[in-house]
Amino acid sequence: MSSGNLPKVVIIGGGFGGLNAAQKLAKLPVDVTVIDRKNHHTFQPLLYQVATAGLSPGEIAAPIRGVLKENNRMHVLMGEVVSFDLERKSLKLRDGSGISYDYLILAAGTTHSYFGHDEWEPLAPGLKEVEDATEIRRRILLAYELGERRAAVTGKAEPVHFVIVGGGPTGVELAGAIAEIARHTIAKDFDWIDPRQSRILLIEGGPRVLPAYPEDLSRSAERQLRNLGVDVMDNARVTSIEPGLVRVGEQAFPSTVTLWAAGVAASPLGRALGVPTDRTGRVQVNGDLSVPGHPEVFVVGDLATLLDKKTGKQLPGLAPVAIQEGRHVAKVIAQDLRKAPREEFRYLDKGTLATIGRAAAVADLGEKLHFSGFPAWFLWLFVHLMYLVGFRNRLLVFIEWAWAYLTYERSARLITGSTQLPGWTQQQNLHESNEPSVEQEHENETHAAD
Amino acid sequence: MSSGNLPKVVIIGGGFGGLNAAQKLAKLPVDVTVIDRKNHHTFQPLLYQVATAGLSPGEIAAPIRGVLKENNRMHVLMGEVVSFDLERKSLKLRDGSGISYDYLILAAGTTHSYFGHDEWEPLAPGLKEVEDATEIRRRILLAYELGERRAAVTGKAEPVHFVIVGGGPTGVELAGAIAEIARHTIAKDFDWIDPRQSRILLIEGGPRVLPAYPEDLSRSAERQLRNLGVDVMDNARVTSIEPGLVRVGEQAFPSTVTLWAAGVAASPLGRALGVPTDRTGRVQVNGDLSVPGHPEVFVVGDLATLLDKKTGKQLPGLAPVAIQEGRHVAKVIAQDLRKAPREEFRYLDKGTLATIGRAAAVADLGEKLHFSGFPAWFLWLFVHLMYLVGFRNRLLVFIEWAWAYLTYERSARLITGSTQLPGWTQQQNLHESNEPSVEQEHENETHAAD
């Protein structure tokens, strides 16, 4: 800690935006502190592969401290920011300590939103952090283990039902990966149940999955999903999530495992700034990514909202946007330091990719360049390996993928933590008569109202 | 499930003993069911590397179902056995269901024992399962993060104190690995604290560490530990574990992170059999590994106690013993099937190895062949790669080790779960005046009596 009187830049969040800002700032005469609630950067585009047992958490996460140890002007603090005082240029951590700054870069991203139904969260976990991924993995694998045990004892095999709410990239990826697990990875691993009988239902509120993509690619994605054995339901709004059950209006779908990929809300830190935000809590930033009235405060990544100079549309919540914004803020600070005028941010759209499963993906590389299937999937693999943080992670993920491609195996089929599933008893009630089962005596669940 | 009227073998436990018995039995005309509380086999000899961020859980664990999918006479059930009825040849699972057998192989292993001080468990976790390993990893890494944050705010840096209770192989491995993390891996990752100032204390109740090894190797291990910067305290009995503190009689040692590697107790399933057990609950088996009065019931691995035919001493609780015992029971069942006389079990001791750290280990390959340092360490690496279950795991672990050897990095530096440490406030009280600190306002810990 001997940075003397260098300008002090505080970055909140070690995701794509924060990390890229920090890496660029490392080259400037500034003192940088990155604050994150976690000790690690999570490579979110591959998080669904941890949730579906394809990769281990350690392969897609990297300690922020390890990534940023370039020089002694870079500091990392694990802590939770709770409030700001923009006038005094300071912020407060949950533990009460205060931290001051000359520049503030807020890159706190988003959290799940259950559209006012927070009671759905324990029944339908979403996917944002490593802990979410291992919890989802636990539920997917446990559903089969409990099904096998029940069938072994009762002689009655029942299909495992998955309901994924939300047809954006995460929902599509989860549905595709679960289908692959059921139809291939564990297809022959059980004796009393047949995983190939699993039902996988993807529910999308709008007219098509991947709504941010061109329509032809959405249709292609739906076709590819159906080929994998996923039922896709468009224009369907979930009205209730109960243990073992998802309701869409009058229709009730049995659900052994329900996953939430529908709603995203801005980090509450956006509103805590006290500057204008949009309806979802994202901060409306100036062209240079600073907030109105505070040129020393920037917001980047999913937490910022800004119109694309080129298309006039809102910039999407994607990793490339966050990366470019983070780097842009470092550039603006460099311009400040040498008293040059600030440049406006321009997003360079290199295209977007979404994967569905083995050899199944869609690619949107501009108006004329849409493609899907194997070439899109191959490009997706390549791009994600390239962007993955750390050479070691890249090497391990490459080996895992090559191995999985050749064997259909998934490496990280671990159930850790609780051995209970919400709705396990209730789901049974839905299908069977009301005779008490062996599970009902012991599983610690309340009974469904019906 | 069409094994017809084949003899039904039920194996409880998917550790070394159970898995090896199952793999040998796969070649016989028997119907085999492996029951385990977990869905995965854990390669326990490398579990300490998960606890010290060197490996990911997925790299040392393998789904039991995946390992045993050789033929359709092999079944796997995830479930917890709670009781036996040896007369009716049946057992009961926690969910109430009953399972019958013709042969029973109990390979349930051991659990931690806190010598009647179960209140120590939350303060000093032990290392048996994947969940234990990630919890220990969380505490080790979090201790530095909390220390850095406190030092950044107060300007006062304090060393992190580790106390490891128990100088057997696990205690020695943990102490050595923590020393390597502190002195190398993260030595330069912090700005306000210096991890090299960490204090690592290994407390052993007996006169020397690795008490099961020849005395010269114990002395060598202690030397190698001291070279790594570990304080070794022999003949010391822990009398109290409190938040932030470990007492040995009148002496009190500050402890940011306390780990338990001292006591091991037999699985309660040993006593549940209702046959003679020793003081620690291990089942006294016959020469063919069956239990007295029940030739169809076998106990193998750490849960069995048997005198070595050759040395007259009790067989140690080691993986090679469990492996050989598991295979022997399969052989005995084969002998039964062809109505041949049963063979007695003989342990073939190929030697034992314990690792301490980078290029530091001890090897006991018979009376005349004791060595330590780099050759012992290299042999240890080789043997553990060989015995690791699954080619994919072997390949990944090999890469991780090569990478770690070249870079001193550790791959899996993830903190997941809670961001609190027991004793964090209390430890501060020990060192500082009683002025309330920022942490005291928020961390949810009770104050120490003093």
pLDDT at A426 over 60: no
Which residues from B are below 8 Å from A411, CB to CB?
Answer: 58, 392, 396
Cβ proximity of B140 and B178 under 8 Å: yes
Q: Would the CB atoms of B40 and A414 count as touching at under 8 Å?
A: yes
Q: Name the packing angle between helices B319-337 and B16-25 (round to 10°).
A: 30
Whichever domain contains B307, its CATH number is 3.50.50.60
Instruction: Show which of residues 246-305 on chain A sit within 8 Å of chain B, judged by CB atoms.
Output: none
Chain B interface includes A87 (CB < 8 A)? no
> What token pair was written down for A202?
């993807």
Strands (E), A144-267: 161-165, 199-203, 230-233, 240-242, 245-248, 251-254, 257-260, 264-266
Q: In Å, what is the CA distance from B232 to each residue of A106, A122, B165? A: 47, 46, 10
Q: Would the CB atoms of A145 and B78 count as touching at under 8 Å?
A: yes
ipTM associated with this complex: 0.87
Residue A390 inside a domain? The answer is yes
Q: Which of B129, B135, B148, B173 is catalytic?
A: B173
Average pLDDT estimate for B323-336: 97
In sequence order, the 6+-apart residues with CB closer than 8 A to the CB of B449 are: none
- Determine whether B208 is exposed, middle or buried from the number of CB atoms within 10 Å of its CB (0-12, 13-18, 19+): middle
Q: Would the CB atoms of B190 and A37 count as touching at under 8 Å?
A: no
pLDDT of residue A394: 86
Average pLDDT estimate for A222-243: 95
Rounded to whole angstroms, the Cα distance separating B137 from A431 reads 43
Residue A59 inside a domain? The answer is no
Determine the 3-state secondary structure of B163 from DSSP.
strand
pLDDT of residue A327: 97
Q: Per-residue pLDDT tens for A123-178? A: 999 999 999 999 999 999 999 999 999 999 888 899 999 999 999 999 999 999 99
Cβ proximity of A282 and A291 under 8 Å: no
Q: Which of A59, A135, A148, A173 is catalytic?
A: A173
Q: Would the CB atoms of B69 and A188 count as touching at under 8 Å?
A: yes
Claim to verify: residue A158 and residue A136 sit in the same structural domain:
yes
Claim to verify: residue B104 and residue B134 sit in the same structural domain:
no
- Determine whether A346 is exposed, middle or buried from the number of CB atoms within 10 Å of its CB (0-12, 13-18, 19+): exposed
CB atoms within 10 A of CB A343: 13
CB atoms within 10 A of CB A331: 18
Residue B434 inside a domain? The answer is no
Claim to verify: residue B169 and residue B208 sit in the same structural domain:
yes
Residue A324 inside a domain? The answer is yes
Find the length of chain B: 450
Give the neighbor-by-neighbor strand order of the sheet with B81-85: B81-85, B90-93, B98-100
Rounded to whole angstroms, the Cα distance separating B60 from A410 reads 14
Fill in the DSSP letter of residue B21. H
Claim to verify: residue A294 and residue A390 sit in the same structural domain:
no
Claim to verify: residue A321 and residue A254 sit in the same structural domain:
no
Q: Give, in degrees to the nearest 5, the angle at Cα B123 between B36 and B200.
A: 105
In sequence order, the 6+-apart residues with CB closer than 8 A to the CB of B435 are: none
Q: How far is A450 from chain B (nearest CA, A)?
A: 23
Cβ proximity of A144 and A53 under 8 Å: no
How large is the C-alpha radius of gyration of chain A? 23
> What token pair was written down for A423?
């709705």
Chain B interface includes A408 (CB < 8 A)? no
Which residues from A are below 8 Å from B131, CB to CB?
Answer: 416-417
Residue A56 inside a domain? The answer is no
Candidate from A46-60, B126-140, B432-446 with smallest mean pLDDT: B432-446
Which residues from A are below 8 Å from B192, CB to CB?
Answer: 1
Claim to verify: residue A229 and residue A210 sit in the same structural domain:
yes
Q: Which of A274, A302, A337 is the last residue of a domain?
A: A337
Q: Which of B307, B337, B367 is the last residue of a domain?
A: B337
Chain A interface includes B128 (CB < 8 A)? no
Residue A67 inside a domain? The answer is no
Closest CA to A102 of A304, A339, A298, A340: A298
pLDDT category of residue B51 using cuts at 50, 70 and 90: very high
Q: Per-residue pLDDT tens for A363-395? A: 998 878 988 888 888 898 888 888 887 777 888
Q: Would the CB atoms of A191 and B141 count as touching at under 8 Å?
A: no
* Model confidence, pTM: 0.89
Whichever domain contains B414, its CATH number is 3.50.50.100
pLDDT category of residue A434 using cuts at 50, 70 and 90: very low
- CB-closest option in A38, A69, A152 to B189: A69
- In terms of DSSP bridges, do strands A103-106 and A294-299 run parallel, antiparallel, or are they unpaired? parallel
Q: How many domains does chain B have?
A: 2
Claim to verify: residue B302 and residue B374 sit in the same structural domain:
no
Q: Per-residue pLDDT tens for A181-192? A: 999 889 889 999
Domain of A294, in residue numbers = 8-37+79-113+264-337
Active-site residue, A173 included: yes
Q: Would the CB atoms of B1 and A134 count as touching at under 8 Å?
A: no
Q: Which of B287, B303, B337 is the last residue of a domain?
A: B337
Percent of chain A past pLDDT 90, that is, above it, reads: 66
pLDDT of residue A123: 96
Claim to verify: residue A160 and residue A214 sit in the same structural domain:
yes
pLDDT at B432 over 90: no
Claim to verify: residue A97 and residue A232 sit in the same structural domain:
no
Average pLDDT estimate for A67-91: 91
Cross-strand pairs, A142: none
Residue A72 inside a domain? The answer is no
Instruction: Show which of residues 183-202 on chain A sit within 8 Å of chain B, judged by CB atoms.
Output: 186, 188-192
pLDDT category of residue B4 using cuts at 50, 70 and 90: low
Claim to verify: residue B173 and residue B84 sit in the same structural domain:
no
Claim to verify: residue A257 and residue A274 sit in the same structural domain:
no
Residue A444 inside a domain? The answer is no
Q: Helices marked H in B189-242 — which ranges?
A: 215-227
Chain A interface includes B1 (CB < 8 A)? yes
Q: In Å, what is the CA distance from A446 to each residue of A396, A429, A443? A: 43, 12, 9
Claim to verify: residue A245 and residue A333 sit in the same structural domain:
no
Average pLDDT estimate for A193-220: 95
Which residues from B are below 8 Å from A66, CB to CB?
Answer: 189, 409, 413
Q: How far is B395 from chain A (nearest CA, A)?
A: 9
Q: In Å, what is the CA distance from A186 to each residue of A140, B65, B106? A: 12, 9, 27
